[in-house]
């Protein structure tokens, strides 16, 4: 299945827009309970207004909340971003640390967020266990663990460390485009021959094809039809 994932999503990547570790860290914090598309609409103006950790630390709360309002839970997210700015400024010289044990001490940052930042901003391999990743690896029988903290090492034992970050991207891509939570596009899935959960969604190609999303749709359907 992994080999097929590699073929289906060779260019998978983080779908949040960023140019620096700080931008990525803030974007991931903002992505909670909303879509990457929504976050990407908000961050250009946000990043221009607050280019440094010190800028976030000294931000006016009301103004910051207005920038974040459309991301949902904006008051809690403002708290996290203000806390991030202060912690980075006071403890890390304004720079985002490149170690997991440091990142998880920051406000609003757990292992998932830390692994996203490490893998995509610092090139440190990490497994990102979001809702898509957890759902798919359980559907595939790779693990029965429900706790993301336990899923991470369970999958890490199956896959070479240097491939962890790309595996995370590809699994998440597949979860967003094909293997949906309520109605997976089983009949139009390139992984269908090897999937133990085949049949959880429509198995007829035409019906399933209507459920496939994303820019890669034509490529996905071509591979699925071939299989």
Active site residues per annotation: 112, 130
Are 111 and 134 in contact by the 8 Å Cβ rule? The answer is no
CA distance 116 to 77: 18
What are the Cα distances from residue 64, in Å, to 92, 108, 187? Answer: 22, 16, 45
Q: How would DSSP label each residue in the chain? A: -HHHHHHH-TT----S--SSHHHHHHHHHHTTTS-HHHHHHHHHHHHHH--SHHHHHT--HHHHHHHHGGGSSHHHHHHHHHHHHHHHHHHSTTS--SSHHHHTTSTT--HHHHHHHHHHHS--------HHHHHHHHHTTS----SHHHHHHHHHTTS-GGGHHHHHHHHHHHHHHTS-SSS--GGG-TTGGG-TTTTSS--SHHHHHTT--STTHHHHHHHHHH-
């Amino acid at each position: 299945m992994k080999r097929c994932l590699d073929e289906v999503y060779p260019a998978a990547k983080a779908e949040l827009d960023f140019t620096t570790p700080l931008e990525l860290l803030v974007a991931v914090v903002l992505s909670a309970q909303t879509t990457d598309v929504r976050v990407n609409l908000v961050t250009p103006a946000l990043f221009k207004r607050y280019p440094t950790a010190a800028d976030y630390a000294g931000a006016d709360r009301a103004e910051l909340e207005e920038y974040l309002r459309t991301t949902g839970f904006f008051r809690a997210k403002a708290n996290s971003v203000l806390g991030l700015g202060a912690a980075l400024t006071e403890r890390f010289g304004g720079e985002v640390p490149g170690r997991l044990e440091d990142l998880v001490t920051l406000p609003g940052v757990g292992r998932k967020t830390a692994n996203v930042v490490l893998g995509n901003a610092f090139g440190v391999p990490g497994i990102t266990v979001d809702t898509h990743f957890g759902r798919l690896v359980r559907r595939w029988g790779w693990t029965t663990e429900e706790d993301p903290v336990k899923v991470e090492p369970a999958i890490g034992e199956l896959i070479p460390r240097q491939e962890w970050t790309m595996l995370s991207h590809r699994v998440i891509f597949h979860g967003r485009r094909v293997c949906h939570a309520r109605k997976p596009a089983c009949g139009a899935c390139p992984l269908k021959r090897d999937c133990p959960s085949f049949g959880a969604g429509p198995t007829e190609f035409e019906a399933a094809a209507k459920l496939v999303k994303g820019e890669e749709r034509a490529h996905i359907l071509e591979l699925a039809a071939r299989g």
